[in-house]
Every structure is written in structure tokens, then in C-alpha cells.
């Protein structure tokens, strides 16, 4: 597979016409690295020298707490950009550990090469700014969520409300272990709170990973 096939679905190249994208990538200098499942891609504090794009597979970022527990900060899949906001910063180092959650292939493009492409195509620059802005907003909301929702009850309620569709259903995209890591709590504690909600009829488990909220108001009333 050539570089065009690897990058045509990447978010920062969205809506760029094929012929323009091919021109951008014609002389692009890049590196491809492959990682096994659970292999560490980067450690917190490592210098960020390239823009990193997930070309295949899935990766996640995590922070280690002082007690040894870890919190999953973000999950990235094919087409996502890693470290996009940090590469141009003064302190361009990873603030988190980066780990492959499956066999993955990452593309590394130097800052100089990225700047060349920005100069050649304004749409690419707009896309790039949009991607890093959306990521910043996402992480800001996540920080707010962590600080304002202290109890497991509140964390779970906020998670359900944020992921509920128009049919009052929540499709769990992550395992209970992964959600517990996102919350920074123990998995058994989270499972216990979820079971209590189900036993009280606040949540109905339709399928293993599908939950239904009979009444949004009753769920909100459970906030501590």
C-alpha cells in the first residue's frame, strides 16, 4: 500500500481533492513504524519530533498515579493524529505514556515536512487546526468532568448522559475495566454502582453492551 492509500482517510486530509493530495504526498518524507499489542510507543517525557498518524490499529494514552494506578486519557484509532498540538510547542514532550492496544502501524512526519504541506495547501492547515482544537476541547471537558464529578455515582451518570442517544440508549464502546480507568476508580467499585442502578430500575440492560435509560430525570436525580 502506498502513502496515498495510507493517508487519504486521515482526518487532517479530509475534503482535499485526490489530485491535490497526491501532489502533497508526492515528495513527502516519512517513516513507518509497527508495534505489537501492548507495546509502548512512547513514554511520558519523551521528546516529540514528528507528527504521528495512526495508519492501522488502535493506541491509547495513559497517566500513572502516585499509587501506581493508571488513568486512560485518550484512545485513538485509524486516521487519528497523535501529539498534533505538542509538536509545535516549546515543551514538546509527551505528557502521557502511549501504548498500542492492538497491532498498529504509525506514520511519522517531521515538523519541517508538515510546514511545507501547510504552505502548499490552505485546506490542510484548516483541517489541522480543527483537529487539534477539537482535541483540546475534548480534553478540557474530560478534565472538568474529573474534577467536578468526585463520586463514582456522578462519574457514571455523567458518562451515561454524555453517551445517550435520542432513544435514551447507551452503547458501551469500552469494557468496564476501560471505563473504570477513564474514571480513575477500581473496576469492582464501578461494577457495583452500575448493578445498583440496574437493580433500582434506573438503568435497563437490554444487551451486554447496550443500556437503556427509562427516565433521564430520575437518572439526574441520582446525582450526589
Q: How confident is the model over 17-32, as a mean pLDDT?
A: 84
In a domain, 141, yes or no: no
Last residue of a domain, one of 79, 106, 134: 134
Residues 15 and 122 in one domain: yes
Instruction: Report yes or no: 205 and 168 within 8 Å, Cβ to Cβ.
Output: no
- Determine the angle formed by the axes of helices 111-120 and 122-148, rounding to 10 degrees: 120
CATH of the domain at 186: 1.10.10.10
Residues 32 and 86 in one domain: yes
Indicate yes or no: pTM above 0.75: no
Residue ranges of the alpha helices (H) in the chain?
Answer: 3-7, 18-26, 111-120, 122-148, 152-163, 176-183, 187-199, 216-221
pLDDT of residue 57: 93
Residues 116 and 36 in one domain: yes
pLDDT (tens digit, 9 = 90+) per residue, 57-99?
999 988 776 556 677 778 888 888 888 888 888 888 888 899 9
Distance between CA atoms of residues 128 and 110, nearest Å: 15
Last residue of a domain, one of 101, 134, 167: 134
In a domain, 143, yes or no: no
Residues 98 and 8 in one domain: yes
How many domains in the chain? 2
pLDDT of residue 99: 94
Between the alpha carbon of residue 122 and those of residues 24, 27, 116, 205, the distances in Å are 12, 18, 11, 48
Per the structure, the complete domain to which residue 105 belongs is given by: 3-134
Residues 126 and 154 in one domain: no
In a domain, 7, yes or no: yes
CATH of the domain at 110: 2.60.120.10
Instruction: Report yes or no: 78 and 9 within 8 Å, Cβ to Cβ.
Output: yes
Last residue of a domain, one of 110, 134, 158: 134
Cell digits for 165?
Answer: 442517544
Residues 117 and 159 in one domain: no
In a domain, 139, yes or no: no
Distance between CA atoms of residues 122 and 20, nearest Å: 11
Residues 21 and 110 in one domain: yes
pLDDT (tens digit, 9 = 90+) per residue, 89-126?
888 888 889 999 999 999 999 989 989 989 888 888 99
Residue 110 CB neighbours (<10 A): 16
- The confidence band for 146, taking pLDDT boundaries of 50, 70 and 90, is low
- Determine the angle formed by the axes of helices 18-26 and 111-120, rounding to 10 degrees: 140
Amino acid at each position: 500500500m502506498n502513502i496515498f492509500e495510507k493517508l487519504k482517510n486521515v482526518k487532517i486530509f479530509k475534503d482535499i481533492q485526490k489530485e491535490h493530495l497526491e501532489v502533497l504526498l508526492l515528495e513527502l518524507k516519512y517513516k513507518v513504524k509497527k508495534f505489537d499489542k501492548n507495546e509502548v510507543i512512547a513514554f511520558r517525557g519523551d521528546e516529540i519530533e514528528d507528527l504521528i498518524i495512526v495508519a492501522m490499529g488502535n493506541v491509547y494514552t495513559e497517566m500513572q498515579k502516585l499509587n501506581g494506578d493508571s488513568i486512560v486519557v485518550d484512545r485513538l484509532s485509524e486516521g487519528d493524529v497523535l501529539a498534533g498540538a505538542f509538536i509545535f510547542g516549546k515543551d514538546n514532550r509527551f505528557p502521557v505514556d502511549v501504548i498500542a492496544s492492538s497491532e498498529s502501524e504509525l506514520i511519522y512526519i517531521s515538523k519541517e515536512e508538515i510546514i511545507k504541506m501547510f504552505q502548499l495547501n490552505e485546506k490542510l492547515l484548516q483541517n489541522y487546526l480543527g483537529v487539534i482544537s477539537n482535541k483540546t476541547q475534548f480534553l478540557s471537558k474530560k478534565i472538568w468532568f474529573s474534577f467536578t464529578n468526585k463520586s463514582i455515582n456522578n462519574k457514571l451518570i455523567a458518562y451515561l448522559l454524555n453517551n445517550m442517544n435520542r432513544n435514551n440508549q447507551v452503547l458501551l464502546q469500552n469494557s468496564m475495566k476501560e471505563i473504570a480507568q477513564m474514571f480513575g476508580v477500581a473496576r469492582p467499585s464501578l461494577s457495583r454502582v452500575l448493578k445498583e442502578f440496574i437493580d433500582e430500575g434506573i438503568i435497563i440492560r437490554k444487551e451486554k453492551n447496550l443500556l437503556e435509560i427509562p427516565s433521564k430525570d430520575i437518572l439526574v436525580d441520582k446525582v450526589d
